[in-house]
Amino acid sequence: MAVDELDTRILRLLLEQPRTSVREYARILGVARGTLQARLDRMEREGVITGTGPSLSAAALGHPVLAFVHIEVTQGHLDDVGDALAAVPEIVEAFSITGGGDLLARVVGRDNAHLEDVIQKLISLPGVVRTRTEVALRERVPYRLLPLVESVGRATARG
C-alpha cells in the first residue's frame, strides 16, 4: 500500500503520541475527524496499522537478558517446533529463516542462568536438532518504523 503525505503525518502522530484521541489528532493535523477516521480504518484494513496496544518492556517486567537463538529443526517438523515455541513464555518472537538454522527466536530471561534454563527447554523439544545463542549486550537502534514511514511517504510524494 502506498502512503501519502497525510498518511505519513497520521502515522508519525500515532507513533509519537499514541495515547491521543482521534479528535485531537484531527485538530493537530487540521483535517476533519471523519477524514482521519477513514484514513485510520483504511490503514488498519490494509495491514499498515497492526495494533494499538502499549509497547511493553521485558526488562521492566524482570527479564533484562535478551538473546537471539538460532534453532535447527529436523526436516518436516518446523510447524511442530513453531507450535511448541509458542508455549514458552520467554520466547517473545520467532521467525522461520534462511541461512544458519531454520528458526530465529528472540528470547528473554531474568538472568543468564534463567536464559540457560530456557535454552535447555528448547533443546529438549522434539524436532530440535541444535541451537546457537547470541546474547544481546546493548540495544543500539530500538525497534522503530518512523524512518521507514517517512521514507515511503517521501518516495510516494516524488511519484
Residues whose CB is less than 8 angstroms from the CB of residue 136 and which lie 6 or more positions away in sequence, other chains included? 66, 67, 68
pLDDT value for 153: 79
pLDDT per position as a tens digit, 41-96: 999 999 999 988 888 899 999 999 999 999 999 999 999 999 999 999 999 999 99
* Cβ atoms 43, 7 nearer than 8 A: yes
Query: What is the rounded end-to-end Cα distance, in angstroms, of the chain?
Result: 14
Q: What burial class does residue 25 get, using C-beta atoms within 10 Å of its C-beta: 0-12 exposed, 13-18 middle, 19+ buried? A: buried
Instruction: Report pTM.
Output: 0.85
